[in-house]
Amino acid sequence: MQFQFENILDFIQMSGHGPYVWASYVLTFAVIGILIYIPYKLKRQIVAQLRRKQKLENSDY
């Protein structure tokens, strides 16, 4: 097994197909990144909300 390209520029250009290949990979990992980020962000929101509620309950009496 060996690296298929002459140099880094060749790797980026991929004899003209570079833009298509790189666009596919970048787009895919960008949208998967969003899928990872959403539950992380929403969990923080739920925790913050619960904490606010608890504060209210504690200060009630």
Partner 1 sequence: MYQLNWQWFHRLGSPRWFYEKTSRWSPWIGAIALLTIVIGVVWGLGFAPTDSKQGNSYRVIFIHVPAAFLALAGYYVMAIAGAVGLIWRMKLSFMVMKSAAPIGAVLTFVTLVTGAIWGKPTWGTWWVWDARITSMLILFFLYLGVIALQGAYQSRDLSNKSSAILSLVGMINIPIIYKSVDWWFTLHQPATLKLMGPSSIDPSMAYPLLIMIFGFYCLYAWLLMAWTRLEILNQEQKANWVKELLLEGRIKSDLKNA
Q: Which residues bind partner 1 (CB under 8 A)?
A: 1-5, 11, 14-18, 20-21, 23-25, 27-28, 31-32, 34-36, 38-40, 42-43, 46-47, 49-51, 54
In the complex, minimum distance from the CB of residue 2 to partner 1, in angstroms, rounded to a whole number: 7
Give the shortest CB-31-to-partner 1 separation in angstroms: 5
Q: Which of 23, 7, 25, 24 is nearest to 15 (CA)?
A: 7
CB of 43 to partner 1, least distance (A): 6
Between the alpha carbon of residue 1 and those of residues 4, 7, 11, 52, the distances in Å are 9, 16, 16, 57
Question: Do the beta carbons of residue 20 and residue 28 sit within 8 Å?
Answer: no
